[in-house]
Chains A and B, each alone.
Chain A
């Protein structure tokens, strides 16, 4: 389900050619997105979810999706809210209005990071060239989202399908991340 729902939100950037295109794994740059960082207390979560259009997950490392919306758990009082690029202003206003004077912080971080879509049967293998996380489906099921480190760059990894991962990094780190991924993938060609 998550796979389908993420597909209407995280889409390949039509103007970009694939960064990597092998039969076992490919890397596509994702189209720009609205990213809102929300920090709020438990009492405000229902309201925030209603205004956003997807419930805010309370269990660690989970993502909740609905039509063109994804709410990603980043910490016990922190969520990243994803939506189409054009919805940014309307969503921001809607959440601010709904939360009113409830203590919270809502920040537009849309341009802070970029996303790539890493998919294929060797996707988790490729990510593991720089990330120390067990990506077996039992311990990192579809729908899991986490911040972690890829080599020396902080990244966010969201598994949207068995063999599909969305990886976000800060704009200025993305070249480093994709560069190392593409270089590591050369091992597949040699083998």
Chain B
């Protein structure tokens, strides 16, 4: 079982307390009425589906209830970084290099 660190509870817990919320840092169009259908498609459905190091949203659903972000290697399932929602996306390339990828 995966252990996941919640940056709000400041504790590592079993995967069963969490829910994955897909790719992180996808900004909602700021002006919906000026957004084209293609842009909506891009926002709603298009994901990078990375094989390797990716930033994801996770929710501590059976804990504090908070969404946070995590960097995970989708090949090895290894988590490389956890950070609070609202914080800027870390340098994924740097993290991959540090992890020896």
Contacts and interface: CB of A to CB of B under 8 A. Distances in A.
Whether chain B is bound by chain A comes out as: yes
Interface of A: 60-61, 74-76, 78, 132-133, 146-149, 154
Given A78-B64, A146-B63, A60 B9 contact: yes
A147 B62 contact: yes
A132 B62 CA distance: 12
A132 B16 contact: yes
Contacts, number: 41
B17 interface: yes
Interface size class of B (residues with CB under 8 A): 10 to 19
A149 B11 CA distance: 15
Given A60-B8, A76-B8, A132-B1, A148 B64 contact: no
A60 B60 CA distance: 13
28 contacts: A60-B9, A60-B10, A60-B64, A61-B10, A61-B11, A74-B64, A75-B8, A75-B63, A75-B64, A75-B65, A76-B64, A78-B64, A78-B65, A132-B1, A132-B13, A132-B16, A133-B13, A133-B14, A146-B9, A146-B11, A146-B63, A147-B63, A147-B64, A148-B13, A148-B17, A148-B63, A149-B16, A149-B62
